[in-house]
Amino acid sequence: MNKENIEKPQTKVQEKLVQDEFNINVAFYIHLKTFDDSVRSELKNRIKEVFFFSKGIDWKFDSFGIEKAGSRGSEILGYFIFRTSNVDKLKKLFLAEFKDYENTSKITCSLAKYEKVSETFFELEV
């Protein structure tokens, strides 16, 4: 059974669910020169080594994947998507760690800013 929606959090659990007013998604696209079985592992290892141990940057890792040629163009793209409040620090760290990656022809980026319009809370009984 669904309880009614409420406008403001009323419990500590609900308070933990409150989302930021603003959210910036940063997508880094690694334009790959070649793609084989080892590329996915290389990219995953590189991102783990760098970002999962980094300190001082307010970010959250969202997703990673490989887009094969044809889905959005003729290039194969490795992509990493983050949510952050400090785009400049994230860009510097990403560039510092990927500028020596020999399998890339270029790195492109997109920024998407989201603003919370409304937020309500409800519980489902199980």
Mean pLDDT, all residues of the chain: 80
Q: How far apart are CA 93 and CA 55, in angstroms?
A: 11
Q: How far apart are CA 60 and CA 63, in angstroms?
A: 10
Average of per-residue pLDDT across 82-89: 83
The answer to whether residue 67 scores a pLDDT higher than 50 is: yes
pLDDT band at 51 (very low <50, low <70, confident <90, very high): low
- Domain positions in the chain are 23-112
Given this model, what pLDDT does residue 37 score? Answer: 80
The answer to whether residue 42 scores a pLDDT higher than 50 is: yes
Given this model, what pLDDT does residue 118 score? Answer: 81
Q: C-alpha angle 34/37/40, rounded to 5°?
A: 80
Q: pTM above the 0.95 mark?
A: no
Given this model, what pLDDT does residue 12 score? Answer: 83
Q: Which amino acid, residue 122?
A: F
Count CA atoms closer than 13 A to 52's CA, side-chain side. 7
pLDDT band at 87 (very low <50, low <70, confident <90, very high): confident
Q: C-alpha angle 102/107/25, rounded to 5°?
A: 135
Under DSSP, the state recorded for 85 is: S
Q: Give bridge partners of residue 82 from the DSSP assignment.
A: 26, 61
Count CA atoms closer than 13 A to 15's CA, side-chain side. 3
Domain made up of 23-112: CATH architecture: 2-Layer Sandwich (3.30)
Given this model, what pLDDT does residue 110 score? Answer: 92
Given this model, what pLDDT does residue 1 score? Answer: 45
Which residues make Cβ contacts (< 8 Å) with residue 50, sequence separation at least 6? 93, 97
